[in-house]
Homo-oligomer: A and B are copies of this chain.
């Protein structure tokens, strides 16, 4: 079975583990585009052609892309081909929670669960470059406890793990 189509989507939300599994990614992507449009309408923000196109490009795969790679794609699509074009769209999408920035890669990846602000942990496969978003409630709880013991008030935090995804653990030399 190549696709796990209807069964894996619950209320329009992909399970996070889907990134590492073969799945009907076209569905995955179009589902998120629809949610992005809904969010924009709800919030009164504008999902303009450039912004929409950037999100589409990032949604093509469960991997992160550098700003300049996105830019090149935009250019071939007839949009401006100077860095600010890409960075502005990316920054907008990040602010809206539709895209996450992966610090370790200086790259961007489409959010696979756009909703209320969430800051997932990222699992980044160093072989296939696939990025998955893990729920961080317990991780954050532990981090907050550590911060509390310093009387440090966390405002935002970044959690990124590099390693091997299930698929690539088998195929390593």
Question: A121 contacts which chain B residues (CB < 8 A)?
Answer: 143, 146
Interface of A is mostly: mixed
Measured CA separation A143–B123 after assembly (Å)? 10
A153 contacts B by Cβ under 8 Å: yes
Q: Check A30 for interface membership: any CB of B closer than 8 A.
A: no
Quick check: A163 and B147 within 8 Å, CB to CB?
yes
In the complex the two chains form, is A152's CB within 8 Å of B126's CB? no
**Contact residue among B126, B143, B158, B164 (Cβ-Cβ distance under 8 Å from A103):** B158
Residues of B within 8 A of A157 (CB): 159-162
User: Which residues between 69 and 98 of chain A lie within 8 Å of chain B, taking CB atoms?
Assistant: none
- Chain A interface size range: 35 or more
How far does the Cβ of A102 sit from chain B's closest Cβ, in whole Å? 10
Number of copies: 2
Give a binary string over A40-60; 1 marks a CB under 8 Å from any B CB, 0 the rest.
Answer: 000000000000000000000
Give me 11 other A-B pairs in contact (C-beta within 8 A), A136-B146, A138-B142, A143-B161 excluded: A103-B160, A123-B150, A134-B143, A134-B146, A142-B142, A147-B163, A154-B162, A155-B161, A156-B161, A158-B159, A159-B159
17 contacts between A and B (CB under 8 A): A123-B150, A123-B152, A123-B154, A126-B155, A132-B152, A134-B147, A134-B149, A134-B150, A136-B146, A138-B145, A138-B146, A147-B161, A150-B166, A151-B166, A152-B163, A155-B162, A155-B164
Closest 7 CB pairs of A and B: A151-B166, A157-B161, A138-B142, A155-B163, A139-B142, A103-B103, A154-B163
Name A's B-contacting residues (CB within 8 A): 16-17, 20, 103-104, 121, 123, 125-126, 132, 134-136, 138-139, 141-143, 145-147, 149-166, 169
